Structure 1
Amino acid sequence: MNHDSLLYPLRHSDNPDDGSLWNWAQNARLAQHFQVKTPQSEAEVQQLLRQHSGSVRLVGSRLSPGRMLNVAEDDLLLDLSALQGILHHDAESITVAAGTRLEDLFDHLTRMDRMLGCSPGVIAVQTLAGAIATGTHGQGMQQSSLADEALAIRMVLADGSIREFHRGDPEFAAVQVSLGTLGVVTAITLRTVPFRIFTCEKHAVPAATLEQDLLRWNQTYEFSKAWWFVDDDVLHVWNINPASASLREQYYAQGRAVIEHADEGDTRLNRTIDQTLAHMHRDTQVEGKGGKQFRTVTRFRDFTDVTGDVYQLLCRGIAVPQINVEIGVPLDRTPAIIRKIKRWYAENRPHMHYPIILRCTGPSAAWLSPASDRATCFFGFVVYYADDGSLSQEGLHFLTEVEKLLAAEGGRPHWGKYYDPTRYQWREVYPHWDDFRALRASLDPARRFSNHYVNTLFD
């Protein structure tokens, strides 16, 4: 089978020297280098917007699919990576430049004995503005996306003027997750809370009762995340709650290093891990056992409970070029959806390239968050690139078929990942879709913060 190259583009692993800037995965050309501008300040952003009359798109870490980022030959691509650092902080908030990497923000908060009120995403090399604009989220029913921790968002508008949107403003829910279509975000103020230590309990359990277990775990624990190895009908589960007083004392006594609770790890998942690695080696045509993509699975071998801060425990993602599809569905429909996936798998026995990743969050206030106004379960799917830049066609077939199922159940895709836009009736799944479009028309009547994909999406 030959899947649509626009949905799942092949990767140019040789990095051709053609004067182009590529996205991080090197599967999409974004612009010619002369079109890329890297403003060093907010004032330079204003100047660029006033000098240039064409369209403008924005990049941070370039992790999103190319269709969201690329520009036409007469347009500009603004690289905001120079807008970095902590601009201000007080007892309950921190103001951060838009291009600051999440890992730098988390390190700074830790030194202040503060943290964000939300669970972090797994990839900490994202820029703050990019992570917020695409609805990046972690897990846990008591919180939602990173955007929901924002108290204020400062933005340069299409005419070069500056406006600051505050929580409580009628437009704030649109600005929180905006896909870079309303203006250039230059600074974000985030709510902070006291620093806490957590214990992560890790389990290998059968998936026979996943429908009930997933809801129970998310009701019982502050954070819960599961990897569903469908071939073996088994799950690897991380359930996280605040650490005990004695473990907190031990954590600080050993210099804030992660505590491993056992000298010898649990081996119950090892056979499944070996089987998954064999599939991945076959799909990616990689010799030996090296490669970052294999570390994403081998870390589950000989697992043990651990204690640490939320960033040490959950920012464990390994950035490897991949096709990553993630669809959020209503939490109350999740048990029925799991049953449907089980039936579909039993009937079709598809090739499983990687386990299904399950994370749940509370509702988001942002109009375009995939968790907008509803508790949500996110189903994540990954296919890694082979060394020659190709993709497992069987793995892509699985992504395609399951996305069909989830879209039919009211699913909403993660904006910063891959999805088939023809599967979704946006007005039906996003009640505030037309409200967002109206604000976009008001703030950017000339559609300056657009490209072909964005215009197709909204217009």
Structure 2
Amino acid sequence: MTSENGGYPRRNPQPVADGKVWNWAQNATLGDKSAVSTPETEAELQALIAASGGKIRVMGSRMSPGRMLQLADRGDTLLDLSRLRGLLAVTEESATFAGGTPLHEVYEILSGMGRMLPASPGVIAAQSLAGALATGTHGQGLQQSSIADEALSIRMVLADGSVAEYDRQHRWFGAVQLGLGSLGVVTQVTLRTQPSLVYTCYKNAVAADTLEQDLIDWNRNYALSKAWWFPNENQVHVWAAREATADEAARYHDNNDDLLRQEETSDAMNETIDQTLEHMRSDTKIVDENGKPFRTVTRFKDFSDVTGDVYQVFCRGIATPQINVEIAIPLAITGETIGKIKAWHSATQPHMHYPIILRCTGPSSCWLSPAYQQETCFFGFVVYYAEDGSLSEEGVSFLRAVEEVLAEVGGRPHWGKYFEAPLYNWSALYPHWADFVEVRQALDPQHKFDNAFTSALFD
């Protein structure tokens, strides 16, 4: 086990009464509790920002790595926007929410109105709306991209305390959509909505022999698709969803609009999952057989097709402290990249206790989106913390090595997850990098919304 390796911090598994604010995973402190301010209104937020002489970061749900939020000096401010939440306005094709609204509330409110976002959800819905935009949270399916791509307008409080609104016609909108918290504090977001759809999701287990082409086919032939690749067992668990037929939708509605599971189940993944659980138990030393890390894979045993709305089908994650690395690869070279990983895996036989997660999206209009202007496949890698808060040395070595493989082929890391910044040439990866830096300078010339992480990125 390792206490800290490759930039992956040790976790403190027990709550600490040290006067500090910890991130959700409890592997980083964000600042002193005395630094937290919780404005009740936008006007109060304006006054607070205008009067501040230190740095300011928004905490959100604190699910990002600590470096995204961390403060250093007395006089700095951690903003808690949990009071600025809820639905503010509705039109036939849009809904405006306060920036501090958790995603699960956005989804619940929209579902209650018979509406949905055109962007499919990520697996976890605890993030705040503003935080999801700031880090590029995304789902799966080539017909959509990140949640930020469904923003029609964004309202922010700027560094001088003034309020500005940006819509899709504004020349800076591509920067504001995904701003890494470095341009201003998002207080309102107007999102495009559409009538709720019912989906039938087919689940299957297949060999990974032809994954290079199969992954493309699943994403071309279905509205939404997600896959879990188990290289050690040469097996893939795939979900492929299409809009439900009239009969399927009727049976779903007869089930009180609850997720409808087919009676027929498959045990095709059971042996693979048992082997995966064995690795996980060895790595984590967690004694609870029903612990959260184990539940993330046991759900693949005895699986069945399901019918439900997009949130019931795909927003199924189990929030578990982990090191999560996700690298975006252009879809055009995804097959080639899978081949490289297969060859690298065969040659090195790395130790891994969780499958590789494969989610594809359509092009994004956000300047700093890993999917900017191109169809993209996100390769996700997970290592769970051990019971004592440490990480498997082999797991850490695997993450470092596989990230190097993907960085070499032009991969772009997910901003809200872990990555090794020295591996990436940001200005070469992002055509609008210099433009974003100019917008940042114009909106926050004193870099009030910076911390060590964003300063290193942009300065």
Query: Is the CA contact 2:176–2:183 (under 8 Å) kept in the aligned structure 1?
Result: yes
Stretch of structure 1 that moved more, 369-378 or 285-294 = 285-294
Q: Using the TM superposition, give the Cα deviation of residue 248 of structure 1 relative to its aligned residue in structure 2, in angstroms.
A: 0.6
Gaps of 5+ in 2: none
> C-alpha distance in 2, partners of 1:280/1:443?
46
What is residue 22 of structure 2 aligned with on the other side? Answer: 22
> C-alpha distance in 2, partners of 1:372/1:317?
25
What is residue 260 of structure 1 aligned with on the other side? Answer: 261
What is residue 169 of structure 1 aligned with on the other side? Answer: 170
The amino acid across from 2:19 in the alignment is G
> C-alpha distance in 2, partners of 1:161/1:6?
40
What is residue 8 of structure 1 aligned with on the other side? Answer: 8
Q: Using the TM superposition, give the Cα deviation of residue 387 of structure 1 relative to its aligned residue in structure 2, in angstroms.
A: 1.0
Query: Is the CA contact 2:2–2:390 (under 8 Å) kept in the aligned structure 1?
Result: no
Query: Is the CA contact 1:230–1:352 (under 8 Å) kept in the aligned structure 2?
Result: no
Query: Is the CA contact 1:134–1:177 (under 8 Å) kept in the aligned structure 2?
Result: yes
Query: Is the CA contact 1:158–1:444 (under 8 Å) kept in the aligned structure 2?
Result: yes
For the pair 1:101 / 2:98, whether they are aligned, the reply is no
2:232 is paired with a residue whose SS is: coil
Query: Is the CA contact 1:92–1:192 (under 8 Å) kept in the aligned structure 2?
Result: yes
What is residue 79 of structure 2 aligned with on the other side? Answer: 78
Q: Using the TM superposition, give the Cα deviation of residue 400 of structure 1 relative to its aligned residue in structure 2, in angstroms.
A: 0.7
> C-alpha distance in 1, partners of 2:71/2:110?
35
The amino acid across from 1:447 in the alignment is H
Q: Using the TM superposition, give the Cα deviation of residue 53 of structure 1 relative to its aligned residue in structure 2, in angstroms.
A: 1.2
Q: Using the TM superposition, give the Cα deviation of residue 4 of structure 1 relative to its aligned residue in structure 2, in angstroms.
A: 5.5
What is residue 209 of structure 1 aligned with on the other side? Answer: 210
What is residue 223 of structure 1 aligned with on the other side? Answer: 224
* CA RMSD, 1 decimal: 1.0
Stretch of structure 1 that moved more, 109-118 or 70-79 = 70-79
Q: Using the TM superposition, give the Cα deviation of residue 6 of structure 1 relative to its aligned residue in structure 2, in angstroms.
A: 6.4
What is residue 362 of structure 1 aligned with on the other side? Answer: 362
Q: Using the TM superposition, give the Cα deviation of residue 124 of structure 1 relative to its aligned residue in structure 2, in angstroms.
A: 0.5
- Please show how residues 270-285 of structure 1 align to structure 2 within 5 Å: 270-285=270-285
> C-alpha distance in 1, partners of 2:3/2:71?
24
> C-alpha distance in 2, partners of 1:438/1:249?
53
For the pair 1:380 / 2:380, whether they are aligned, the reply is yes
TM-score, normalised with respect to structure 1 = 0.98
> C-alpha distance in 2, partners of 1:327/1:20?
31
For the pair 1:87 / 2:72, whether they are aligned, the reply is no
Query: Is the CA contact 1:55–1:450 (under 8 Å) kept in the aligned structure 2?
Result: yes
What is residue 400 of structure 2 aligned with on the other side? Answer: 400
> C-alpha distance in 1, partners of 2:278/2:67?
32
- The percentage of aligned residue pairs carrying the same residue is 56
Query: Is the CA contact 1:3–1:393 (under 8 Å) kept in the aligned structure 2?
Result: no
> C-alpha distance in 2, partners of 1:410/1:298?
34
> C-alpha distance in 2, partners of 1:2/1:424?
25
- Residue by residue over 1:157-191, the C-alpha shift from the partner in whole angstroms, topping out at 9 and shown as x without a partner, is 00000000001210000000000000000010000
The amino acid across from 1:183 in the alignment is G
Query: Is the CA contact 2:94–2:190 (under 8 Å) kept in the aligned structure 1?
Result: yes
Closer, same or farther: CA 42–81 of 1 in aligned 2, 3 Å: same
- Please show how residues 53-452 of structure 1 align to structure 2 within 5 Å: 53-74=53-74, 75-262=76-263, 264-452=264-452
- Residue by residue over 1:304-331, the C-alpha shift from the partner in whole angstroms, topping out at 9 and shown as x without a partner, is 0000000000000110100000000111
- Residue by residue over 1:220-243, the C-alpha shift from the partner in whole angstroms, topping out at 9 and shown as x without a partner, is 000010000111000000000000
> C-alpha distance in 2, partners of 1:351/1:3?
18
2:199 is paired with a residue whose SS is: strand
Stretch of structure 1 that moved more, 1-10 or 124-133 = 1-10
Gaps of 5+ in 1: none
The amino acid across from 1:57 in the alignment is R
Q: Using the TM superposition, give the Cα deviation of residue 14 of structure 1 relative to its aligned residue in structure 2, in angstroms.
A: 1.9
Closer, same or farther: CA 449–269 of 1 in aligned 2, 3 Å: same
Query: Is the CA contact 2:150–2:192 (under 8 Å) kept in the aligned structure 1?
Result: yes
Query: Is the CA contact 1:3–1:396 (under 8 Å) kept in the aligned structure 2?
Result: no
Query: Is the CA contact 2:149–2:365 (under 8 Å) kept in the aligned structure 1?
Result: yes
What is residue 49 of structure 1 aligned with on the other side? Answer: 49
Q: Using the TM superposition, give the Cα deviation of residue 288 of structure 1 relative to its aligned residue in structure 2, in angstroms.
A: 4.1
> C-alpha distance in 2, partners of 1:418/1:339?
24
Q: How many correspondences in the alignment?
A: 458
> C-alpha distance in 2, partners of 1:107/1:453?
34
The amino acid across from 1:458 in the alignment is F
